[in-house]
Structure 1
Amino acid sequence: MRITDVVVTPIAFADPPLLNSTGVHEPLALRTVVQLVVDGGVVGLGEGSGERDVLDHLEAVRTAIVGRSVFETGLIESIVFSKLGPDVSAMRKRRVFSILEVACLDAQGKLLGVPVVDLLGGAVRSWIPYSAYLFYKWAGHPDAEPDEWGAALDPAGLVAQARRMVELFGFGSLKLKGGVFPPDEEIAAIRALADAFPGLPLRIDPNGAWSVETSHRVASELSGVLEYLEDPVLGMDAMAEVAARASMPLATNMCVVSVETFAEAVTKYPVGVVLSDHHYWGGLRHTRELGALCDTFGLAMSMHSNSHLGISLAAMTHVAAATPNLAYACDTHYPWNRHDDVVQPGVLRFVDGAVPVPTGPGLGVELDPDALDRLHRQYVDSGRRSRQDTVYMRRVQPDYDPTLPRF
């Protein structure tokens, strides 16, 4: 049960031109896949950020992890924090450990013949609802053909995008990434979605692109329409000011991002919904602990997402299944990136907008080595080493200013 090797593979996969408050997604998204090899041949899988610093940090700790028991995740976490030293932030250390912890839990489950959810306390639900993640987007990347989704730059385009999402995956709630166009245009988009999909819960996330004054106005105009309003402003104090007057809960993955920030959230009450993310909170067990904290202090939970593939989707699904108070449908980018997955098909699927919790040992998914090799070659050939939404946007709009708040 000793770890004999940690294989770190950076990959790049196709990503549509999805617009957001800092620019637009580049043609390739970056991720890291970890294969944690245990004596006897068992391999645990982990997935996380593909940024250069994460790869460097994984390389810095891998030799210290080799030889440890795959069940010693507490010790491995201590090694990560110690080896990376004081110059690396706790958040970045958590991002590194989260990849390793998921790989350890996957290997543990395979060794014991149980799914990861059982290692987290057992499932309280067997299907995890996810929300359609809608984006304003171009028809295709510059100098490329339109993609399968086409353009969505106005309410009609977003409604068409949502219809296809619902038809393909059965989603029962809709979230719009906002902060792209003036608020009145995004209010009109939400109202168009409400008209087209009566009864479906709606959310909007402008990623801090609005001022407090603008947020008050949008919250008022969309009262009774939004399920929750996510990160309309930047910072705990501004969020609390908006929350005090909004009729709907505020949600965040930007101001409550660690245990260190949780205490302030309890005293200032800036949000009613915390969006967990095991990639940032330090793995699945710490995410489960976040659930207990939220339950104690009367906060609800949902789940944040960034561009990801099947290993992460499986991990998200397992921890969501083990977290009783995760009461809102989770976010996922998976429909945008599903064609370039690194896991073998057949296990992960959407049924009426929900993913059944995999029942196989570990995460329940298996690596596709050919896909991993192809996406790694794509990473190497691309020369990309970091995500740069603003830089990419400036290729199209040279004077683009990402300064927030914008509206």
Structure 2
Amino acid sequence: MKITSITSIITRPPIRHPGKLGVGDLVSVDAVIVAIETDAGISGVGECSPWAVFAENAFAIKATIDNYLAPALIGETPFNIEAILLKMDAAHYGSSFAKTGVEMAVFDIVGKALDCPVNQLLGGLVRDRISLSYSVTNQETQADLEESRWLLDQGFKVLKIKTGVLPEREELIRVEALRKLVGDDFDLRIDFNQGGRREQMTRLCRQLEAFKPTFIEQPFKGFDLDAMAALCAVLDTPIMADESVLSWDQGFQVAKRQAADIISIKIAKMGGLLRSKKVAGMCEAAGVPCYAGAMWESGIGLAASLHFACSSPAIKYGSDFYTANYLMTDDLVVSPLAVSDGAIFVPTGPGLGVEADWEAIERYRVAV
């Protein structure tokens, strides 16, 4: 079986509301859909959904796939996924999001060809579901509380409040109000998205510890591992690295320098499923627990992330896999991912286990 064509499509499916983060505002989902055809008649689909304020952008990703990655892979067998990764690296440096979308579609093909779900190609399941953490991004206390009440009604057992945008006093008011709403025993996390300042963070985080957060995520710029390590050393609350791990090799540096107590693994940052598994294995060996992060993917990308997270013992803190079911008002798959009691289930069908909704993809297609 050989790859005969690789195409990419930029889509912009609708969302309920924008997100306001420490790193910048997110006003839309730009999902790049990758379709791969083979001479055996088996096709695969993948997705990468970048945040322009965070990493790559959709138009650059499409250009990378169309002009560099696709030409390098025509005629290759999908079964040699490690070799495909090396060929993509040789064709274009970096571009982990673009490579993730392509590799995801390749995994979909291989799973369909072997009549098994992708998680079986990654070592098999250690769980069949993973808890959902929803990110509260309104930056206004009453709006936060209103949305959080709705989320509790939906069965969520984990919430993450996005900080790093407002003045210090207002941040404390928001977190305190949310803690009062959910109760002392509820799993509440805090995420600065790099929005913290060195001169304030030790004091502010010690004040935030009074509200018993499960962890505090990415208080400093991703490159500032010295500040991350120093804060880890003085706080009782675990610090999680996200933007400090924008590639699979950076995960090693964060663990080596003890710059985080927890590492967030997003398959798009790592360059795909295989490299995410390598980072998870490295963290497991180093005794660093992980979180299954996500961008704002549709059910296509989240299905792939579920196969990774549910086959990785290192994932101990749940997932960000809520967007397709709770943020988007129209998904890009025919049948939504299964959710129940605050958890989302890994698909069981061959390949990714989801069917792309090509009518929806065309409906939200962005002209290039």
Answer yes or no: same fold by TM over 0.5.
yes
Matches within 5 A, 1:44-63: 44-49=44-49, 51-60=58-67, 61-63=69-71
User: Residue 338 in 1 paired to residue 321 in 2?
Assistant: no
Matches within 5 A, 1:255-334: 255-332=244-321, 333-334=323-324
Counterpart residue type for residue 345 of structure 2: P
**Distance of aligned partners of 1:335 and 1:179 in 2 relative to their CA distance in 1, 3 Å threshold:** farther
Matches within 5 A, 1:75-114: 75-84=83-92, 88=93, 90=94, 92=95, 94-114=96-116
User: Residue 232 in 1 paired to residue 219 in 2?
Assistant: yes
In structure 1, stretches of 5+ residues that fail to align are 138-152, 384-407
Superposition deviation, residue 245 in structure 1 = 0.8
What is the alpha-carbon distance in structure 2 between the residues aligned to residue 245 and residue 115 of structure 1?
Answer: 44
Counterpart residue type for residue 10 of structure 2: P
What is the alpha-carbon distance in structure 2 between the residues aligned to residue 184 and residue 7 of structure 1?
Answer: 49
What is the alpha-carbon distance in structure 2 between the residues aligned to residue 361 and residue 338 of structure 1?
Answer: 25
What is the alpha-carbon distance in structure 2 between the residues aligned to residue 43 and residue 339 of structure 1?
Answer: 27
Equivalent residue for 1:19? Answer: 20
- 1:331-364 residue CA offsets vs partner (Å, 9 max, x unmatched): 1333454322111024x02211111111111111
What is the alpha-carbon distance in structure 1 between the residues aligned to residue 107 and residue 231 of structure 2?
Answer: 39
User: 3-state DSSP class of the match of 1:244?
Assistant: helix
What is the alpha-carbon distance in structure 1 between the residues aligned to residue 5 and residue 36 of structure 2?
Answer: 6
What is the alpha-carbon distance in structure 2 between the residues aligned to residue 264 and residue 110 of structure 1?
Answer: 36
Equivalent residue for 1:145? Answer: none
- 1:290-319 residue CA offsets vs partner (Å, 9 max, x unmatched): 111001111110022222111111011110
Superposition deviation, residue 191 in structure 1 = 1.8
**Which one is further off, 106-115 or 43-52?**
43-52
- 1:186-210 residue CA offsets vs partner (Å, 9 max, x unmatched): 2222222222112211111112222
User: Residue 208 in 1 paired to residue 194 in 2?
Assistant: yes
- 1:249-272 residue CA offsets vs partner (Å, 9 max, x unmatched): 100111133343334323421101
**Distance of aligned partners of 1:264 and 1:7 in 2 relative to their CA distance in 1, 3 Å threshold:** closer
TM-score, normalised by the number of residues in structure 2: 0.91
In structure 2, stretches of 5+ residues that fail to align are 50-56
Moved over 4 A (4+): none
**Distance of aligned partners of 1:344 and 1:201 in 2 relative to their CA distance in 1, 3 Å threshold:** same
Equivalent residue for 1:65? Answer: 73
What is the alpha-carbon distance in structure 2 between the residues aligned to residue 267 and residue 81 of structure 1?
Answer: 25
Aligned residues: 354
What is the alpha-carbon distance in structure 1 between the residues aligned to residue 76 and residue 158 of structure 2?
Answer: 43
Contact 2:225 2:254 (C-alpha < 8 Å) held by counterparts: yes
**Distance of aligned partners of 1:318 and 1:345 in 2 relative to their CA distance in 1, 3 Å threshold:** same
User: Residue 41 in 1 paired to residue 44 in 2?
Assistant: no
What is the alpha-carbon distance in structure 1 between the residues aligned to residue 143 and residue 72 of structure 2?
Answer: 51
TM-score, normalised by the number of residues in structure 1: 0.83
Equivalent residue for 2:54? Answer: none
What is the alpha-carbon distance in structure 2 between the residues aligned to residue 208 and residue 104 of structure 1?
Answer: 33
Counting aligned pairs with the same residue, the percent is 28
User: Residue 122 in 1 paired to residue 124 in 2?
Assistant: yes
